[in-house]
Amino acid sequence: MIYTLTVNPSLDYISKIKDFNIGEINRSYEEKIVAGGKGINVSTILNRLGMDTIALGFLAGFIGKEIERKVKENQIETDFIYLHQGNSRINMKIKSNEIETEINAGGPLISKKEIALLFDKIKEMKAGDILVLAGSIPRSLDTIFYASIIKEIQDKDMLVVVDTTDDLLLKTLKFHPFLIKPNKTEIEEIVKKELKSKEDMIEAANYLQQLGARNVLISLGSNGAILITESNQVYFEEAKQGMVINSTGAGDSMVAGFLYGYLVEKTYEAGLKWGVACGSATTFSLDLASKEKILEIKSR
């Protein structure tokens, strides 16, 4: 089974405004509310490609109930933990004149007892299962949180994918996650230098592998993606061409696509090709890409 963990899910309120002006009253011409969170996005794309997942995470209050309702609308199985106080986040996404502005809330407090409930679920996972750890964590949790989860299952022969940033990512590496997916900016922040060439990116990925990462997938936005495998193979895939409409969830779509391609076709190269196809398809869509859009982009 594929499990996705979204520690800090949200309702994303997406507002489209023709000319957004700071300090003035702005009126939107279109609004949408969707369940947000990187792990939830991964589950959504995998589900659309025909793969079952279970979405894990913490929810709180009436906002949490609406998040779960929307996730289940997409026929995704859930096993969320409800917190005893607070509310899940509402994030504001403003789209105006090809510019996206986001206001992301911090999220509710999570108690030690509620964290223990999550670890009880983690302990029930079996060899052959896949766990995707994606996104930020609330302020109440320590940056060793993801590392602690991987440590719990390191002897179970599971594949773990980590898609997060900074110390939250770095502290997982000694437990050898199967795949990490920084984007170009995120990996530049880690190695503290600008990456101007493929050689620079390979060197940076090798550094993360020396720290323990097995496979490093670097998303390059409109330039595609580069994959450096644990056997030192390097694959590059150009992004598909099309009109960019939306960037939200593109990286999560790439993670989902990589897993789909790797699991179905059994090669890293296939994983990369499906990852770029899914990421591109989402950028050409109003929301996360449909199966039809993904297949159309993949066939190009």
CATH number assigned to the domain comprising residue 267: 3.40.1190.20
- The predicted model gives 269-281 an average pLDDT of 97
Q: CB-based contacts of 224: which residues, under 8 Å, 6+ apart?
A: 236, 237, 238, 239, 276
> Which is catalytic among the residues 19, 142, 252, 287?
252
Supply the pLDDT for residue 264. 98
Would strands 99-103 and 130-134 be described as parallel, antiparallel, or unpaired? unpaired
Pair 283, 252: CB distance under 8 Å: no
pLDDT band at 140 (very low <50, low <70, confident <90, very high): confident
Counting the structural domains of the chain, the total is 1
Checking if the pLDDT of 245 tops 90, the result is no
Question: What do you get for the CA distance between the two ends of the chain, in Å?
Answer: 30
Q: Domain span at residue 194? A: 2-298
Supply the pLDDT for residue 278. 97
Distance in angstroms (rounded) separating the CA atoms of residues 5 and 163: 11
Checking if the pLDDT of 300 tops 90, the result is no
* Strand segments (E) across the chain: 2-6, 10-16, 30-36, 53-59, 77-78, 81-82, 89-96, 99-103, 130-134, 159-163, 179-180, 215-219, 225-228, 234-237
Supply the pLDDT for residue 81. 98
pLDDT in tens, 20-56: 998 999 999 999 899 989 999 999 999 999 999 999 9
Pair 48, 290: CB distance under 8 Å: yes
pLDDT band at 246 (very low <50, low <70, confident <90, very high): confident
252: annotated active-site residue = yes
pTM: 0.94
14 half-sphere exposure, CB direction, 13 A CA radius: 15
Checking if the pLDDT of 98 tops 80, the result is no
Supply the pLDDT for residue 271. 98
Distance in angstroms (rounded) separating the CA atoms of residues 215 and 261: 15
Distance in angstroms (rounded) separating the CA atoms of residues 242 and 292: 15
Supply the pLDDT for residue 138. 87
Distance in angstroms (rounded) separating the CA atoms of residues 132 and 160: 6
